[in-house]
Amino acid sequence: MFICVSLFIVGLVCLIKGGDWFVDGATGIARKFHLPELLIGATVVSIGTTLPEVMVSTTSALTGHSEMAYGNAIGSVICNTALIAAITVAIKPGKINRETLRTPVLFFFIAAVIYTGVAYFLGYFSRTIGFVLLGIFVVYMFTTVSQMKNSPQAPEDGDENVRSLGVNLVLLVIGAILIAVGARLLVDNGTLIAQAMGVPESVIALTFVALGTSLPELVTAITSLVKGHGALSLGNVIGANLFNLVLVSGVSVSLAPFSVPQSAVLFGQNASLVLDIPVMLAAMLLLTVPALIRGRLSRVQGVLLPVLYFAFCGIQFSL
């Protein structure tokens, strides 16, 4: 147990430093090419911070732990939205660019409709569904890169030319590696600690593993806020949520198809269908719809989202 705790702490240190360098590199690139930070957050940063989910879900699916692969993707979306985004909104609410936000939100709900439809009506994620999800990822990246080219932002005064493009790329890569290594150490050792406490695999996936693999987003969100890049943080969360459905699930399902887990029951029904997926959709609706309608985020969202998250976790542990 001492070794597990020690490695857990090492992983946390890697995440913190990796998040710091990753944000520096991403914002440096955004300034270099005069690109909106929200778009950088929804693409480059999101891919980097989603790497832990990709590795964990793929490994879980290939080793026969489909509950871990399935629960990790949904649990990460819930954690990203109802906990991590809530921190950004609660600390620094304000105006957002609806034009920039519209694309990742639209793609997320397209993917969510497909994902939900498969879960409710088929109950089995086939390799074909995996390819469809990966196709959505490719289309999103193409659309967003095109949007970047047509949405330059005014250059900022200060340190935009202090670091070269090469240095920013190195910071981005090293930060992503540290984030991935740190998250893996936290997930592996955190899971061992949880198992020693007798927690079921499905609950571990939706809570401990989801929170562990979402720590890069949490670290990035906090680092971005400290450095004054709130838009990068919000873009990262929304982009990461989309990637959890289309990239994380797409890769794991394409390599090892699996059925919707049946291990937990709520109100006589599969808990995933009456709790996990509805909470995921509710959290994203609560975060994005008011922002798209009003063009700003409010502190009320930052208060309601964590309430939803902790209620969800409480029900999970009571099943």
Tokens 């970047």 belong to 148
From first to last of its 319 residues, what are the pLDDT tens digits of the chain?
788 878 877 877 787 777 778 777 877 877 777 766 666 766 666 676 676 677 777 777 777 777 777 887 888 899 889 888 888 788 877 677 777 788 889 999 999 999 999 999 999 999 999 999 999 999 988 887 777 666 555 444 444 446 788 888 888 889 878 877 876 787 677 667 767 777 666 666 667 677 766 666 677 667 666 666 656 667 778 888 898 889 888 888 998 888 887 767 788 788 889 999 999 999 999 988 988 888 888 888 888 999 998 898 888 877 7
Say if residue 276 is exposed, middle or buried (CB neighbours under 10 Å; 0-12, 13-18, 19+).
Answer: buried
Strands 258-259 and 124-125: antiparallel
Tokens 């005064």 belong to 157
* In-domain check, residue 29: no
* In-domain check, residue 54: yes
CATH for 309: 1.20.1420.30
Neighbouring C-beta atoms of residue 12, cutoff 10 Å: 16
- Residue from 120, 143, 98, 136 nearest 243 by CA: 136
* In-domain check, residue 187: no
Distance CA 284, CA 80 (A): 10
* In-domain check, residue 191: no
Opening angle at CA 143, ends 139 and 145, nearest 5: 120
For the stretch 62-73, pLDDT in tens is: 777 777 778 878
Range of the domain at 129: 41-150+199-317
* In-domain check, residue 288: yes
* In-domain check, residue 32: no
For the stretch 126-178, pLDDT in tens is: 999 999 999 999 998 888 777 766 655 544 444 444 678 888 888 888 987 88
* In-domain check, residue 33: no
Backbone angles phi, psi at 124, to 5 degrees: -145, 125
What are the DSSP calls for 83-99, one per residue? IIIHHHHHHS--B--HH
* In-domain check, residue 185: no
Distance CA 200, CA 204 (A): 6
Helical pair 230-243 and 127-149, crossing angle rounded to 10 deg: 150
Cα–Cα distance list, 10 to 56, 186, 214, 257 (Å):
18, 8, 17, 33
Domains: count for the chain: 1
